[in-house]
Chain A
């Protein structure tokens, strides 16, 4: 069942709140990267996909891989809200012995693979999509990557291969927030024009507003490409989205919010 746009936006605000609190409490970085992909993850989990704890061992379930594993807090917030594990687990995020570390770990409920090293999610997604085709399943596979991640050669190996296999139930979302760890992503490498690159590689490549959750849900539910192409959503986003003093400021790739900064940030997220 798909939630209404108002509900989706509320979910997104609540995820942002959790992301901010986790970063503040645990002192972990990548806050800007975690905030830029909130709507992408909201759409993936609440947009009608079969991503639910009740299907956790069902091979027919849809698959989602957070390939940009450094946005783990966004994923954890979503998985907790979805009931993959108790919300109380978030209290111990990044503490010694917690299953919820700074990067996602397989074995955590709802998480199949290790990400954090970039460029791993898409090849795995291709394998999942081929496995489904071999076994006659029609589930979907969605991979969320970052724009900086597109520096990795393995991304482009996979980008070449998936269209050759006509994997039209595979969707990639690129969180194009225009920054990577230490510079503008379009300057560090010649990333732009990003949509055209994927299109030239044989993908159904669409540019979307990565904070327009309704549009993201629309594309995630769009019929598979009749030409057999996999789909990539080049999602224009803002790093640090949702908190005015963090937006498009790359210091928040590593900075940890103080108590007063957290309070100011949460005040901007109302109503919760």
Chain B
């Protein structure tokens, strides 16, 4: 996904001279093409994430469209107060791209995991929170995010994520994309677990349980129209995300459900348990440890479905 980001931002910068790219000392060679084509619009702001967000705020105040890129955990946790005060308070159009969000940097250890980023950013006024499922969604969302008048955070994978879409989907921020239909269970997936979510739906379908799947690429603003329909028509709504079960898509949907008494369907939230992953391992191992494999997610859904 990071290659798609680099490619897409380079293309977008061609059309919009206001786009400025800031990197927190990562992306070695990733942005060579951007730097070569727009040498005055790329800045490595160093290992100083708080500063990077403040600088982005200044660039936006100066009439530009800054895009900030670094590892998700550092972009969000290190610079949270700057995001809140410098970007959200005046509502400045800055796009923060957090690479390797969730468990994308699993092998680097818990310092590099970001399974609470959606929770903390979703709480900030004026902030949009985006989670593309694949490189195609990323490309569509990046262009849309740059049209916003306020700040946006996009959590993306790292590299080698499988493609779900065959081409660039037409995307509206705040409107989920439907990938499968079915009226028994509705799976809402945000981010790069979408291929697994589709496989889970296939498993359910093989048992005769009709399962819809949506890519909820926008967690804030939440697609409330869709939720209203799903909680009326489906029997079970399942959220899947590579994020803590606290405060992510599942949390957002649970909040919505509490506020809507007519929402009849049950809700199951699948996500990262409330724990630090101390063990070493790659992303697949970490997902296994967190119950985020097709097999484990299918079992979890079956358990609730048959209860």
List the 8 closest A-B pairs by CB distance, nearest first. A127-B58, A131-B62, A123-B54, A106-B90, A157-B48, A157-B51, A127-B55, A124-B58
Closest A residue to B81 by CB, please name it: A117
Please state if A153 and B90 are interface contacts (CB–CB under 8 Å).
no
A190 adjacent to chain B (CB < 8 Å)? no
Please state if B58 and A130 are interface contacts (CB–CB under 8 Å).
yes
B285 adjacent to chain A (CB < 8 Å)? no
CB<8 Å pairs between A and B, sample of 6: A113-B57, A123-B51, A123-B54, A126-B54, A153-B50, A157-B46
Please state if A127 and B54 are interface contacts (CB–CB under 8 Å).
yes
A150 adjacent to chain B (CB < 8 Å)? no
A129 adjacent to chain B (CB < 8 Å)? yes
Per-position contact with B for A139-170: 1 when CB-CB < 8 Å, else 0?
00000000000000110011011000100000
Shortest CB-to-CB span from A120 to chain B, Å, is 6
Complex interface: chain A residues within 8 A of B58 (CB): 123-131
**Which residues of B pack against A, CB within 8 Å?**
20, 40-41, 43, 45-46, 48, 50-64, 66, 81-82, 85-86, 89-90
Given A120-B82, A127-B60, A161-B48 contact (CB < 8 Å): yes
Complex interface: chain B residues within 8 A of A126 (CB): 51, 54-55, 58
Shortest CB-to-CB span from A228 to chain B, Å, is 15
Query: In whole angstroms, how far apart are the Cα atoms of A130 and B43 in the complex?
Result: 10
The listed residue (A117, A131, A134, A161) touching B85 by CB distance below 8 A is A117
Complex interface: chain B residues within 8 A of A88 (CB): none
Please state if B57 and A127 are interface contacts (CB–CB under 8 Å).
yes
Shortest CB-to-CB span from A178 to chain B, Å, is 26
**Which residues of A pack against B, CB within 8 Å?**
59, 63, 105-107, 112-114, 117, 119-120, 122-135, 153-154, 157-158, 160-161, 165
Please state if A161 and B45 are interface contacts (CB–CB under 8 Å).
yes
Complex interface: chain A residues within 8 A of B60 (CB): 127
Complex interface: chain A residues within 8 A of B54 (CB): 120, 122-124, 126-127, 154, 158
Query: In whole angstroms, how far apart are the Cα atoms of A127 and B53 in the complex?
Result: 9
Other than the given A117-B85, A120-B85, A123-B51, 12 more pairs (CB < 8 A) read A63-B61, A112-B90, A123-B55, A126-B51, A127-B58, A128-B58, A130-B58, A131-B58, A135-B62, A154-B50, A158-B48, A165-B43
Closest B residue to A139 by CB, please name it: B62
Please state if B61 and A113 are interface contacts (CB–CB under 8 Å).
yes
Complex interface: chain A residues within 8 A of B85 (CB): 114, 117, 120
Please state if A123 and B90 are interface contacts (CB–CB under 8 Å).
no
The listed residue (A107, A128, A134, A154) touching B61 by CB distance below 8 A is A128
Given A127-B54, A135-B63, A158-B54, A120-B86 contact (CB < 8 Å): yes
The listed residue (B43, B56, B62, B90) touching A107 by CB distance below 8 A is B90
Given A128-B62, A131-B62, A114-B86 contact (CB < 8 Å): yes
Query: In whole angstroms, how far apart are the Cα atoms of A130 and B22 in the complex?
Result: 12
Shortest CB-to-CB span from B249 to chain A, Å, is 29
Query: In whole angstroms, how far apart are the Cα atoms of A141 and B95 in the complex?
Result: 24
Please state if B90 and A160 are interface contacts (CB–CB under 8 Å).
no
Query: In whole angstroms, how far apart are the Cα atoms of A126 and B43 in the complex?
Result: 12
Closest B residue to A119 by CB, please name it: B50
Query: In whole angstroms, how far apart are the Cα atoms of A161 and B47 in the complex?
Result: 10
Given A153-B50, A154-B51, A127-B61 contact (CB < 8 Å): yes
Please state if B61 and A131 are interface contacts (CB–CB under 8 Å).
yes
